[in-house]
Structures are given as structure tokens and as C-alpha cells.
Amino acid sequence: MEAAPQATPGEAGRCKHFPVTIKSSPRHRLLFANRRGVSAKVDRRTRAMASLGDLLSEAQQLIVRQRADWGETLLHLETTNRYEVTDEEGRPVALIAERARTVSRYVALMFLGPARPLTLEAYDPEGQLLAVGEKPHRWVFWEMRVSEGDRYLGRIEKRFSILRRRLTVYDANDKEILQIVRPLLRPWTFKVLCDGRPIAKIRKSWGGFLREAFSSADNFGLEILGDWEPHPDFLTLLLFATLHVDYCFFERKR
């Protein structure tokens, strides 16, 4: 990626790849979309026609929690993953789960681990399928391809790096739009860079000592740097990027 040009005060935080502007602010916004003055009221009929990105943009804060499978916890057997996405008040926004479990999927999970092929399906609270993330089997350079219905949004790919953990996000035209990099001294934090400028952070949050000690469930969030109005496709890609971080860098350690 080319070196980022010097931004003028009015352009601070602007990402040219998306129709959004991130305004400079001394206060950081926690998790996905903590914005001011945005209505979050959507009736059921409108919600039924909404995309995943639209639902994510309704809330001021979104949290991704992995649902602990206590059969896995007690028997030490790996099972497929499920994630709940909630707003700042704990109201459900979406549920994301690996596609229905079969014997072959259990075998792949046991022997291939995070290199296994998988499909993530994102549903709204009414059970409507909204988006799909496809992760093919690869031994290296794992990627996840994201689509909403027949519309392809882009992909997230793990890249080779000796010193740092690194992911790259591509749009539907396979153009590189974001870099996700883990700082050397902060193993639980990943910086999201656009044109070389940090615009967000993906962070693993600890769920408490007992939960971390006896289950493999994790919490994740995205810290947005400043006020912004993201395009819905941007939020969808960032959500799946957060899950891809889990598969690439944390699942093998559980």
C-alpha cells in the first residue's frame, strides 16, 4: 500500500474507498457504529427488507459475543461456532452461525481446525437470512468471501507476514480497500487501516475469568475512531472481518 498523503484538517479520517467521512474527534466511539443523531427506529416491514449492513447501522454500539457450547466446555470437544450481535442495551441485532452440522463437518473441524472449509450465515432476529460468508479450505492465506443474496460484497484474506498478523479486505471488484494489522505488542488488538490511516480497531474482549477458563467463547468488538456514517456494505465486511480474525488467530488456541 502506498504511503498515505498528508491530510488537511477537513479531510482527517476520510477513506476514499467508501462514501463515508470520519470526522476528527478527541473521543473514540466504542465498537461498530456509535453515531449521534441517528434514528434506530425501524418497523418490522422495513426490517424485513433491510440488509445486514442496514441493521448494523441502526445501533450506536454493537457487540459480538460467541455463544459458549457447554458440551464443548465439559467434554473438551470442538463444535461449530455461533455468534450473537447485540446493541449497547443487549437487544439482538443478528445471529451468525456455521451452517448445519453434519458428520463430515465434525470430522473437518476435528482434523483441519481453523483451516477447514465453512459457511457462516447471518440472520436477523426474525430468522431471515441476510448474508453469507464462505471460507474455502486452504492451508495458507485463508479467505472469507461475503455476499448478500446474489450480490457479492467482497472478501477478507489472511496475508503472509513474518512479524505481524495481517489481513486484507477487498471490495466486489477485487480492489484492496482495507488493511487489518496486529501491533507487535498488543496481541488482542487489530488496527483497521484505510489509505494507511487508522479508522478502527478490532479487539478481543475477555468475558471474565471463569468463562475464559472453562469455555472457548470469546467476545469481539470494533472500536471506531471518531464520528462517521459508514456505508452498510462497509459494516457488513467489517463484521465478517471480525469473525475472520477469530478463525485465523484465536480459534487454534482454544
Amino acid letter, residue 95? L
Beta strands in 24-88 (DSSP E): 62-66, 82-87
The pLDDT, as a whole number, for residue 45 is 42
The pLDDT, as a whole number, for residue 59 is 66
Indicate the pLDDT class of residue 132, thresholds 50, 70 and 90: very high
Tell me the pLDDT tens digit for each residue of 34-62: 333 333 344 444 455 578 888 888 766 67
The pLDDT, as a whole number, for residue 188 is 66
The larger pLDDT score, comparing residue 114 to residue 181, is at 181
Tell me the pLDDT tens digit for each residue of 212-234: 443 445 677 776 676 666 688 88
Angstrom distance (rounded) from CA 126 to CA 118:
23
State yes or no: pLDDT of 2 exceeds 50.
Answer: no
State yes or no: pLDDT of 176 exceeds 60.
Answer: yes
The pLDDT, as a whole number, for residue 123 is 92
The larger pLDDT score, comparing residue 239 to residue 116, is at 239
Question: What percentage of the chain has pLDDT greater than the value 70?
Answer: 51
Angstrom distance (rounded) from CA 97 to CA 113:
16
Tell me the pLDDT tens digit for each residue of 70-125: 444 444 444 567 888 887 778 888 999 887 555 455 555 555 556 677 889 999 98
State yes or no: pLDDT of 178 exceeds 70.
Answer: yes
The larger pLDDT score, comparing residue 8 to residue 96, is at 96
Phi-psi category of 208—alpha, beta or left, where left has phi over 0 and alpha has psi -120 to 50? left
State yes or no: pLDDT of 248 exceeds 50.
Answer: yes
Mean pLDDT of 155-183: 82
The CATH H-level (homologous superfamily) assignment of domain 14-253 is: LURP1-related (2.40.160.200)
57 membership: H or E segment, kind and range: helix 52-58
Angstrom distance (rounded) from CA 239 to CA 21:
19
pTM, full prediction: 0.70
Query: Where do the structural domains in the chain lie, given as residue ranges?
Result: 14-253
Angstrom distance (rounded) from CA 33 to CA 212:
27
